Structure formats: C-alpha cells, structure tokens
Structure 1
Amino acid sequence: MSAENHILVGFGIVLLVLAGRLLAGRVRIPDAIVLVLLGLAVGYVPGLPEVEVPPQVVLLVFLPPLVFSSAFFSAPRELRAEARPIVALAVVTTLVTAFAIAGITYLVLPDVTWPAAIALGAAVAPTDTVAASAVLKRVGAPRRIVTLLEGESLINDGVALTLFGLAVSAMVQPVGFADGVGELVWVVAGGLVYGLVCALVIAAARARVRDGNTQLVISLLTPFLAYIPAEQAGFSGVLAAVVAGFYLGTRGEGLLPARVRATGRTIWHGVVALLESVLFVLLGLQLHEVFEILPERSPAALLWTATLVVLTVVGVRLVWQLVVAPLTRYLPGRLGWDPGTPAERLVVGWSGPRGAISLAIAMSLPLTLDGEPFPDRPVLLFLAGTVVLTTLVGQGMTLAPLLRWLGMTSADDSREELARAQLAMGRAALARIDELTADERVDAPAAQTYRELHALRVRQAQARLATIQPGSDETSGTEVPPTRHGTVFLRNEITRAEREALSRLYDDGEIGHEMFQALRRELDLTEPHLPAR
C-alpha cells in the first residue's frame, strides 16, 4: 500500500470514528458496538484496500498513552487507603482469570498451543472500567466502589501485559520455569525502576520549562519516552509508563501549570477517546478476515469455547468477590481488610467489562512465527473480540439497573461534598480579601466587589448544605462584614486561597478525588490569563 493510500485509509478510519460516535449517541448503544459494526460493514465493501495493522503499531502507538493516562489521572489518596483489596483484585484475579481462560482454550481447542492460550488469557483478563466507572459516578454509587475499580484497572494492565509478553516469547522459544521466573523479575523490576527514573528526569525538565505549548508537547511525549526505551532494554514498557504516569500525575498533574492544565486535560481526554475508538474500528475491519479463516475450524467448538471463555471471565470475578473476598477479613495482622457489604461486592464483581486495552493486546499478537503465518491468531482475535463486546454490552448496560435494584443510587454524597468544598473555598477567599485589605495591599473598591461576590457564594453553599444536612454547624455562623494593588493581583490571591482550602479538604479526606479534580478544573479555567506564578 502506498503512502497516499495509507493517508486515505487513516482519514477514512477517522471518519468512521466520528460517524460511529454520533450514531451511538442517537441510538443509545455503546460506542464500541457501533464502531465495530461499522468497521465490519466497511470491511466487506468491494474494492477497498485491506487494512492490516502491524502488531508493533498497536504496541508502540496505542498502548503507551492508554496506560499512561489511566495512571496519570488516578486518585492517590484513595488508592493508598484501599491498596490491599486493589492489589488482590488487580493481581490475583487477573492471573487466575488468565490461566483459567488459557486452560479452557487449551482443552477445548487442543491445536492451540499452551503459550498462545496464555496469551489469550492475558489479553482478556484485565478489566477496562471506563464505562463501568462512568455509570457508577452518574448514578451516585459509593465512592469506595469507584476507587476499587479504577485502582484495579491501573495495576492489572501491567500484570496482564507482562504475562502476555512472556507468553509471546515462549511461542518463539520455550522457556523453563526457572528461566521464566528470572525473566519475570528482570522485566518487572526493570520497568518499575526505569519508569521512576524517567519520571524524575521529566519532572526536573518540566520545572525549567515556562512555555505552555512546550509543556503540553512534553506531556504527550512522556508515555512514549517511558515505554519505548524500556521495551528496547528488555523491561516492561507498560509498567514503566504506569509508574511515570502515577508519579507525575500525583505531583500537580504532571507539573503542568494552572494556565495550561485545563487545556492539557482536554487534549488528553480527546486523545484517549480517539485511540480507543480507532481500536474498535480496526477490530471490525479485521473481523471479516477472521471470519474467512474460521470455517477451517469447527464452528461448534469455536462457539463453545467463546461461551466458556466469557463465562470464565465473568465467573472468576464474581466468585472472588462473593466467596473469597469475605474470607480476607480473617487474614492475620494487617493483611486483612474489610471486603464491604454483599451488595458492594456484587457491584464490584459485575463491574468487569473488557475494553480497548484487551483489544490492543489481542491485536498485538504476532502475524508470523519463525517466518510462518501464526495460525492461531484469527481464533484468538475472534475470542478476544467476543469477550470485549459481550462484557461491554452485557455488563455495561445492566450495571445501572443493578445499582437501582440494590438501592445504591444516591447523589447526596457528591452534593454534600460540593457544598462543603464551595463553602470552605468561599470562606478562604473572604479571609484572604480581609487580610489584603487590612494590609492596604489592594484597592478598596476592588476588594469590596470581590467580597460581595464570594459572600454570595458562601450563602449559596450554606443554603445547599442546609437542605442536605439541616442544623449543621457549617450552615450558619459566617458573618460577612461590609466593606495598592490592582484587580489582577487580588484575583490571583483569591484563587490561591481557594486552592489552598481545596487542597486541605482533599488531604483531610473531606472530599473525594473526583470532586477535587472538578473544582480545581473550575479554578484553572479562571486563571490562564493571569500572570504565571
């Protein structure tokens, strides 16, 4: 295919993404389903060039930003508080699911090699909780459930991709148990260390960069700087990208200044949405080739295998949450943890759809082995696609009704968090205004204007809080007295006071990470035109 055709194909895929997302919004069907079906339909149009995506492209272009962004926008305080159940979910259930799927595939389809079966298990074992967490947040599910799911998704990608890499290596050259353990330690330790070193270097470089556009470019290049050199050195590029994203994200959103943070967040969300959508379109475009090769195998065996794989993916997670997790409270010392109520465990168990990461892993399966076409690739891609689509539809679309049936849909918590945060930020702003006025550092008319504005915000927050918690001490007791720097200085100082109050609320556990991010985003949007601090 010529360079011109490559450009045309890329442009066509982008158009399919736009059409699919618009259509999904109108028919209220998950984006993934519409995008895959559009790709499948276009794949059967005669005369169009076949789209073959090299596995290296998936590994180097799609995976780094996807795993980096999930780590970058994580909630550090909540993750630390729930570290033990998150690690158990992300490591134990991912490995158990991967090997259970590998065993079933190997038994039902005996011509599939054991390493290839493990590769399939590793591809579909990690959850992609973007859709699930969006539903949970929309209906007001308990914050702990969202934290568990997002924390799990942050870690299980690295676990699955490390196992996948070892399985692909074993396809080419058999690996003994001792050699495999040694390689695993090398891959994991190297990825963790390199990711931290890379993050430290990038953090030091960003501290010396003042231009906002350059900051954004560095942000977009960071996942590739973490991933590609680590892979070239034989380490886990995924773990390196996760460590770099988590380190930078917990330090002022990657050290981005406030004036570019809002823009950077918007760009990152757009990039991730585009990459995920393109992956689903590419799956649809390749499915017709898969369907042409599948008749060489027994349709009944393939259908049976797909059913068993889907049931295993769902069943292992439910068994862990409903049967094994309650026993963890009896573990000795600090090893045990509160598994939550049966309703919470059921929701976490059912919130395990697979998504773009699983597709990216499956599509990175090698095209050839030892110079010969890899015969199991179409079957494995078919099974992975079946799991992704089935769980996205079956679990993603039934999660909200399950939450309503369990009586776990309430927006009062988020409303109270918002009111408390706005009240604290308003009081901090008023205190800073009074301080600056007393020191005669601001113009009195400007101070009076902003005092009245923030006093109104305080009264509104008190009124909202009073409707949620009548009689609360915070709903009363704030007296706002009436009322030779300019207005810009005053606005800067007010925003600084609001940021400090917001950070204290989050550090003290009064509000969650989602509310902290939303309110900080509002502050960012008011500050880009102010002088950089």
Structure 2
Amino acid sequence: MEFELIAIAAVLLVVAVSVLAPRVGVAAPLVLVVLGLGIASLPIVDSIAIPPELILGGILPPLLYSAAVNTPSMEFRRDFRLISLFSVVLVAVSAVVIGLLACALVPSLPLGIGIALGAIISPTDAVATAVIRQAGISQRIVTVIEGESMLNDATALVLLRSAVAAIGVSVTLWQVALDFLWAVAAAALIGYIVGRLNLAVRARVVPVTSSVTISLVVPFLAYIPAEELGASGLVAVVTAGLVTGYGSPRKLGAEERITERSLWRTIELLLESAVFLLVGLEAPALAEDLVEQGGGLGLALMVAVGATTVAILLRSLFVAGSVAWLARRNRRTPTVRKHLTEIQERLADGEVPQLGSPERSGRKERRVRRLVRAAEASARGGAARSEEARLGTWQRMVNQRLADLDYLAAEAFGWREGVVLVWAGMRGAVTVAAAQTLPSGTQHRSLLVLAAALVAVGTLLVQGGTLGWLAKRLGLTGHSLDSDPVLWAGLQRELNRAAMARLSGELDEYPPDLVEKARERLRLLTPVEDFRPDSPANQASMAKYRRLRLKLIAAQRDELMAIRDLGTYPSGMLDAALAQLDADQIGIELRSA
C-alpha cells in the first residue's frame, strides 16, 4: 500500500507542477528538481538510491523514442554534420580534458577513472531539452540540441566503458574507435530493422488500441538486442524512432497517429518529470555516502565546478567554430543558388547534368557529383525506372537543395544563436545514472558520483533557470516560420492543387454534383453542408461523398509527404497541416461509423 500511495502522490505532484509552474514563469523540470531536494532532506524520508539500470534501461528508451518520433527529419538531415560534431567530437574532447582536470584536482585519481568521469559529464541530456522547448526558442536550435542529446550517449557510454576497462590494462585508441563504430553501426542497423518492422506490423493491425499498444514495447525491442550485442541500445532506440516518425504518415491511419501522439505525450510528461524528481531525491543520499566514506563535500563541489566550467568553455569553442563555418557557407549561398538554378533550367529542357563538363569549375563539378550520387541512390531505390522518372528524380534533388538553402538562410546561426547553443548544453539524468555504473571498487567512487550529480543539478538549475530569460533578452523567442500566414496559404494551395489534379483524372466513378461540391470545398468558396441521412438515397449519396472526401485527403497527404521530402516549408507548419488532415479524416470516419 505504501508504494501505491507514493505513486499516486508523485503523479498528482507532477500534474500540479506542470499546471502551476508556467503560471509563475518557471520551467516545471526545475521546480521538480528543487522539490526532490526538499523532500529528500526531510527527516522522515529515508536515503534514496536509484538503480542506474532503471534510468538507462527503463526510463530513457521510451523518452528517446518519443523524442525521435517527433523529431523533424527534414531539419535533422540538414544539420546532421553539426549534430555529429557535437555528439561525437565534442564529447570525446571534453571527456579527455575533464579527465585531465580531475586528475589534477585529485592527484591520487588514475587517468582512466578521470576520463571516465569526463565521459559521464560530457553528454548533454535529452530530458533536459524539455527546458529548451518551453523557452520558445527557434526550431532549428531545438533540433540541434535534441539531436545532439539523442546521439551523444553512444559516444559517452563507449568512452566510459573503455576508460573503466583500461584500468590496470592497456587499451589502444584503435580498440576504442572500433568499439565505438560497432556500437553505432550495429545499433543503427537494429534500430532501422525494428522501426521498419514496427510500421509493417502495425499497418496490418486493425484495432487502433492494439496498434498503439504495440508502440509501447518498440523502444525496448530496439534497446535490448542492441545491448546484448554490445552496441548502443540508446542509438538503436533513436534510430527506430526516426524511422517510425518518418514513415508513420504513409503507413498508419489518422486516428491511430493522433491516439498514439496523445498517449506518448502523457508518457513523456510522467517519465520526464520522474527523472527530474529522482535527480533531486538522490542528491542528498550521495552527499551522505561521501561523508561516511571520509570524503569532503568541498572537494566534490570543486571538481563539479571545474568540470562544468571546462565543459562550457570547450562547448563555446566548438560552437564559435561551427557558427563561423556556417557563416562562411552561407556567404556562398548566392553562387550555389545560381548554379542550382542553371541546372534546374536545363532539367526543364530535358537535359540531365553529366560529370566531366569542361565548363564547370572544380567546386561546381563536386557539387554536381554529389547530386549525381544522390540521384543514383534514389534510382537504386526504384525511383527512376524511365527517362521521365530520372528527370523527376533530378528535379526533386535540385528542388530539395534549393529548399535547404532557403531554410539555412532564413534560420541562420549568428552569435546570439551561438550563445543559446552554449548555454543550452545542460546535463541531466544520463550523467547521474552513468556515474552509478562505475564498479563498486573504483577509487574515489563516492566523490565521482556526487560530483556528477552536482554537475547535473547545478546545470539544470543555473543554466535551465536562466535559459528562457537569456533567449528573451537576445530576441530569439517568438520568431518562427511555423506560423507564417503567407507560407501557410502557399502550403494549402499546393495541397489543394494535388487534390484537384486527382479530381480531374481518377474520380469518374463519382457523380458530377459530388465532385463539384468537393471542388468547391477545396477552393473554400462556400461552406459545404453535410448530407442528412433521412432517406436511403441520401445515405448512399453521403457515403459516396465521404469516400470522395477521404480520397481527396489521401491525395493531399501524399502531396504533403512529397513536400516534406523537399523541405520547402517549415516542419512545424507541415505537422500542423498533417494534423489538420488527420482531424478531417477522423471526423469523416467517425461520422461514417
């Protein structure tokens, strides 16, 4: 009964904080951390120790899966280089530098253990991005931070495993590199297979509740096999989520996706809140454990402050270099756009670009070579079975590149975005859980675990508590292309044009008056009244009209998926358009039932 009461109280506390915190202008996760610290400090509360496998294997997989499913694949692809730089190179460099600092502060600490501490502290946390989203920052910054936090766990955990294994034995750099490559490659393959199987199976499961229930076990179906094979279970979960999120509009029905979205939002709220609450609850117990073993809280605090400072400085250097590189690339945008426009004009005349043209410079030739490789890859997937289809593939590739240029120019990173990228690199539950995986006989284990917890709590409270204020002072909140009315009108016109085209060629089986009603509805000329089922004839006519509407919605959804692949509209706007189509379809299907 005691456990049940605690669970009920925790859920009610989470709901209360999520409702009240925004009203006072404070991020709910920060309130939960403070509440956890306060509850754990009460005399009537026993010391709380959280098993690390509960967080790493029980809470993080569904959280990362939910985040990956909702990650805009278009923006993720566009900034994949930047995300990879932060999630691999920055984590590795930070782990080594923080390890050297820890050894300097604690002379008796072996270098391997110091690097293990660096690997624990280096990765930003996916759960911590809840604070970033609530700050109302631009979607591109959110995507970079979220993508980094989803992928950097593989780097950190491989480094942690290698550093611990290196204690007393020699481990070469090649061994660490091969371990990392296996962890990522095998996990990505497992996640891809699980994601595709998830879509294939659920597309054939008729009851919506049964299909949505399957989604609850998908994160663990990806995580467990990867971990058993020595790969990164978290990367497998992220890959499965990305595959599912990209393919679900084509494979799953509207009611199914809306039901799943609501369910996972509830799960995400509970699990995210639980993580922040657990971080606060466990911190006092870690401090007590360190004191009992003769350690000093001052030394743990010094290590935590030093490691946090170094992590922020290194992140600042990487972000500054990345912003400079992006600015240099953006300066080439007019030249690249001119070249792509020339290719587009030749494609309109039926001419496919060829390699080895003497008229092109080396840079232009490399650009064409990349387009050729992309077109050939698409052709191998079956997209180019004729000359006309080959031209269509090229046109899609060029249009996609042009849309990428427009997006990167509209959402360009400057020094203000760089400041937010630096300050948004908070640590969280992964840091606390990874620290507790250190073997029990590790030298200065209590010191390291407490230092990691202090880094996590400190960055959440200090950086998380000021991130919204900082973004607002820099003028980075409330400016989003997702709500641009001109772009929204253009997107709706393209969707309606696709539906009208299908009306012209594939709908001869429907009476002309129904087709005209549907055409008027698409043109938004007059509101279309639904038929009243007051006679068998009207019932039959209503059924036909609803089938016609569903076919038009299917045409619009197909066009929306094609537009998503091109990237000519913001992902948030595309999500809103998809939600609108889903709502229309559900309304029709419910009335039909």
Shorter-chain TM-score: what band? Answer: 0.7 to 0.9
- 1:227 and 2:226 are equivalent in the alignment: no
1:154 pairs with one of 130, 135, 150: 150
Sequence identity (%): 32
**Shift, 1:39, TM fit:** 1.6
Q: Given the two structures, how large is their TM-score scaled by the length of structure 2? A: 0.73
List per-residue Cα deviations over 1:159-200 (Å, max 9, x = no partner): 2233234345556x7452255444444433332333333334
2:493 aligned with 1:423, yes or no?
yes
For residues 32-82 of structure 1, the C-alpha deviation after alignment (integer angstroms, 9 at most, x for no partner) is 221122122222334445433222222221121122223222222332233
- Rounded to whole Å, the distance in 2 between the matches of 1:262 and 1:95 is 39
Matched, 1:243 2:239: yes
**2:450 aligned with 1:382:** yes
Matched, 1:493 2:562: no
Deviation (angstroms), 1:449 = 5.5
Query: Partner residue of 1:211?
Result: 207
- 1:365 is aligned, of 420, 426, 437, to 437
**Which residue does 2:310 correspond to in 1?**
312
Offset from partner CA, 1:207-247 (integer Å, 9 cap, x none) = 43222122112111011011112212322212222222222
* C-alpha contact (below 8 Å) 2:82/2:322 kept by paired residues: no
The CA deviation at 1:398 is 4.1
- Name structure 2 gaps, 5 residues minimum: 330-361, 368-404, 528-540
C-alpha separation in 1, matches of 2:322 and 2:587: 54
Q: Which amino acid aligns with 1:260?
A: E
Corresponding residue to 2:424 among 347, 351, 359: 351
Query: What is the CA-CA distance between 1:261 and the residue it aligns to?
Result: 0.1
Query: Would you say 1:18 and 2:15 are equivalent positions?
Result: yes
2:52 to 55, 62, 77: 55
Please name the residue that 2:580 is paired with. Answer: 522
Matches of 2:251 and 2:7, distance apart in 1:
33
| Structure 1 residue aligned with 2:171 | 176
Task: Give the gaps of 5 or more residues in structure 1.
Answer: 460-483
Supply the RMSD in Å over aligned alpha carbons.
3.6
* Distance in 2 (alpha carbons) for counterparts of 1:105 and 1:57: 28
1:260 CA displacement? 0.8
Matches of 1:285 and 1:174 in 2, distance apart? 37
| 1:442-489 deviation per Cα after TM superposition (whole angstroms, max 9, x unaligned) | 473x65655554433899xxxxxxxxxxxxxxxxxxxxxxxx653321
Query: Aligned partner of 2:279: which letter?
Result: L
Q: Displacement of 1:408 after TM fit? A: 4.5
Quote how far apart the aligned CAs of 1:505 are.
2.9
Contact 1:120 1:380 in 2 (8 A): yes
| Match for residue 64 of structure 1 among 61, 64, 67 | 61
Contact 1:106 1:113 in 2 (8 A): yes
Whole-Å separation in 1 of the counterparts to 2:480 and 2:190: 43
In structure 2, what residue type is equivalent to 1:304?
Answer: M
User: 1:442–1:52: structure 2 CA closer, same or farther, 3 Å change rule?
Assistant: farther
Distance 2:480 2:240 in 1: 35
Q: 1:510 aligns with which of 568, 574, 583?
A: 568
Per-residue deviation, 1:286? 1.4
Which of 434, 438, 441 lines up with 2:510 in the alignment? 441
The alignment status of 1:27 with 2:24, answered yes or no, reads: yes
Q: Is the 8 A contact 1:20 1:38 kept in 2?
A: no
Superposed CA offset, 1:285-306 (max 9, x none) = 2122122234433343233222
SS of the residue 1:110 aligns to: coil
- Could you report, residue by residue, the CA deviation over 1:248-286 in whole angstroms, capped at 9, with x for unpaired residues? 222126943222101111211221221121111112221
8 Å Cα contact 1:436-1:442 kept in structure 2:
no
How far apart, CA to CA, are the structure 1 residues paired with 2:215 and 2:553? 25
Say yes or no: does 1:395 pair with 2:463.
yes
Q: Give, in whole Å, the separation in 2 of the partners of 1:76 and 1:286.
A: 36
